[in-house]
Amino acid sequence: MTSRAVSLSVVLLAVAGTASAQSIPIQTVPLVPADQFDIFPSLTLAMGGVSIAVPDTLHDPFVNPAKGARLRAARFFSAPTFYSVSHDAGAGRTLPLGVFSTAGTWYGGLALALQQVDASHPSSPSLNFPGAFDTTFRLAAPLPSGVPDLSTGSESHGNALAFALIGKELPGSGLSVGGSIAWAKLRALDGVDLLYPGSRRVDQSGETFDARLGVLKEWAGDRSFEAIVLHERFRMTHEVTFLDVFWDPGTQQFFQSSRLERNRDFSKRWGVQVKYERPLAASEWRIGWLATFNRISQPNTPNSDVLNIPQDPGRATAYELGVGVSRTYGPSVFGMDVVYQPIWSTTWAEAQTPVVKLGGGTIPVGGRTVENGFHFSNALIRIGVSREVTLGPLTRTAALQLGLAVRSVHYNLAQQDHVESVTRHLEESWLEWTPTWGLSFRFPELELRYRGRVSHGTDRLVASNPNGFIANPVVGGGPGFFPPLGSAMTLDGVHVVTHQFSVSLPLR
């Protein structure tokens, strides 16, 4: 197992929420969230996620609502989904139920889902070290308002998700227009509890909202063009309870004092994507191109000092350019996508009080003390195959899917420290490997599918030293404070395993 430590203070602009095909992820460390929102049925996700030149009839309407016009009949679906992170670093279960229907040239859909997310169970007890002394130390101060108790709380929390779609096909024009909204009420995001080492309890609450408008134009000869405009909002509040241990020289005893921190995490994103597909001459090959633009702003971020990563406000501009090819040869399908993602991001820290600069002068309140400029050059390769076989009558078939997705993240950071008047540089990179597989059965009355995936190259936070205390005062704390050594964190490699079982059946 490999471990990573971040020595230079950098800023993590991690926009959480329901990431989709048009949302370009931005991470400065490989703290990639698990597949918490990857919950709807799909054929191509079992083929490495190829999507540029391979259609996915049931999943495409969740990406572009205009593609709901390709669903020619009313259908009901359900897709129980399960994921788990190695080393007991988190798990979750989701049950979505949905229906698509048509009425003349109109079509629509509705999906609801309930989700349960389990907290992590790190092997090191130092992550919540102060809680181990409840029976030895006495509470020196009453609990602040808003903190009902000092229990660790429930280890599982529930989320609720909803999706609605409506669209219209314009007869004789080959044009379809659709819109969709997705909303989630959140009580837990995977991995957030690990951002607060030494905490006694982390309560999360918030919501996400996603609105899309899509257009699909189809011509003779199996050519198509599509465009999507989206707007996403993500808002979370973290109420974190700490127990600070301190020495009272008057009584010659240790005491605990409760402390409540409220952190906000808010981000918004605007995005546009266009894609064009067409066959290659009269062969079985097909080609597609796409271009995506994202504009992200994150005015509020959680106050977490793990990995020396101050969470500061920021904004980013991200692009995605991709080409995909596919070949359909009888019952076999092959697909491959190659995507390049250039990203520019800027984050900053502002002074809350006047700061004296090195060499003289001051930075006023609200002035920027540190500015971080990131330039990402990310790449993504997806490849997958599907092979269908006939089971008895022609209306009964089975299919096997295999795939692989490889994501390369590389960025350069230029950090300007306006207090010390210095510029620091950092270069980081890593690879993420995700093998996928799937099996499906198709009958006249229903379709049954299973897909799985396992991601490698991702990390989770762990304590760097499980023993003892640090006998130095906490920065900004009173004298005599002894923080748990578990507050010194590193990254440890984990893998995430996801399984989904889905059923889809026509309603008439």
Q: What is the CATH number of the domain that holds 218?
A: 2.40.160
pLDDT of residue 6: 41
Strands 253-279 and 138-139: parallel
pLDDT of residue 360: 63
Whole-number Å distance between alpha carbons of 155 and 152: 8
Torsion of CA 249, 253, 258, 263, to 10 degrees: 60
Residue 130 · residue 198 · CB < 8 Å:
yes
Whole-number Å distance between alpha carbons of 163 and 211: 10
Q: Specify if 420 maps to a domain.
A: yes
Mean pLDDT by 10 residues, the chain (508 residues): 41 45 81 77 92 91 93 90 88 94 93 91 46 45 51 76 96 94 92 79 92 96 95 92 80 80 90 96 89 91 60 85 94 96 87 62 69 93 95 83 96 85 88 95 90 86 46 33 43 86 89
pLDDT of residue 45: 92
pLDDT of residue 335: 96
Q: Specify if 329 maps to a domain.
A: no
Total structural domains within the chain: 1
Q: Specify if 335 maps to a domain.
A: no
Q: Specify if 8 maps to a domain.
A: yes
Q: Specify if 337 maps to a domain.
A: no
Neighbouring C-alpha atoms within 13 Å toward the C-beta of 329: 6
pLDDT of residue 137: 46
Q: Specify if 184 maps to a domain.
A: yes
Q: Specify if 438 maps to a domain.
A: yes
pLDDT of residue 275: 97
Q: Specify if 328 maps to a domain.
A: no
Q: Which of 296, 351, 313 is nearest to 23 (CA)?
A: 296
Would you give the distance in Å from CA 461 to the centre of its chain?
Answer: 16
Q: Apex CA 143: angle with CA 137 and CA 146, to 5°? A: 145
The two tokens of residue 201 are: 């309890």
Q: Find the domain containing 285 and state its range.
A: 3-314+343-506
Residue 207 · residue 186 · CB < 8 Å:
yes
Question: What is each CA distance from 227 to 10, 178, 179, 290, 382, in whole angstroms?
Answer: 36, 11, 12, 10, 22
pLDDT of residue 125: 42
